[in-house]
Amino acid sequence: MDKIKISGITVYAYHGVLQSEKELGQTLFIDCEFAIDTSLCNDKIENTVNYGEVSCVIASFCRENRFDLLETLANKLSIHLLLNYPLIEEVSITIHKPHAPISTPFTDVTLTVTRRYNTCYLGVGSNLGDRKSNLLLVEHEIENDENIILLKKSSYIETEPYGILNQPNFMNGVLKIRTVYTPKELLYFCKNIEKKAGRTKTRHWGERTLDVDILFYGDMIYWKDDLKIPHPEICKREFVLKPFVEIEPYFIHPIEHINMQSLLQRLKKEI
């Protein structure tokens, strides 16, 4: 991917934890590097990203907002650029704070944040209350969040319970989205929707008003106690694979290294 880099955007702004920083301000220097495809610009400014305009947007954003942490400023600024310039696929923001309140001699403090759009897949399911309405709530929340775009959705299918059989049938589906959220931010988004649907803790694999799982986050392999991507149960669940194949049969599982259609066929042979 092609990259444009702007270095040393100078802005006087009021970001910092200390009251003196909030009141007196200080000079910050911003470096911005963004990835775009320049092959089809055809020598027309409207087919690329105007880096002069981007520089002014960065300076204005830093002046018009106030945050305690550089981390917050860098993250918010990165997302602001991605949302306002659709041609930008990835952006890196480096903030230099050479006048930071540090008691030892130093030359500079820098923070670099990189953010990009990612294509992700969510599995949704419900077997309590108005199941269809519960699933449609996920679509509604996506439509009302500027950080997520719904690209495709499967049919919602009736499925028998998995794991614990003495419970009502489920309605399940898969959503394909594009988002600037990090994996942890997307997890928070999903859990918040479950809470809005009135989900409470029940037995493992038990009844639920709404279940929203991150199935894949691009081709990322992320393995932490509170979040595992790809979802470890995908290959065992026909109620996930069947709607997934409906919208994306040739998506390659980053661990199994075969496509979703082949995974579904393999599972049917094992059942």
| Catalytic residue IDs | 97
Tell me if the bond preceding 232 is cis, omega within 30° of 0. Answer: no
Task: Give the DSSP H or E segment for 239.
Answer: helix 238-247
Give the closest residue to 229 by CA, choosing from 240, 242, 220: 220
**Residue tagged 């108005």 (tokens):** 130
End-to-end CA distance of the chain: 44
Handedness of CA 64, 68, 70, 74 (dihedral sign): negative
- Chain centroid, CA 241 distance in Å: 22
Give the closest residue to 229 by CA, choosing from 214, 245, 250, 242: 214
Classify each residue of 40-78 as buried b or exposed e, where b means 16 or more C-beta atoms within 10 Å of its C-beta. Answer: eeeeeeeebbeeeebbebbbebbeeeebeebeebbbebb
Q: Which two tokens stand for residue 269?
A: 């042979």
Rounded Cα gap, residues 107 and 204, in angstroms: 54
150, β-bridge pairs: 177
DSSP character for 127?
Answer: -
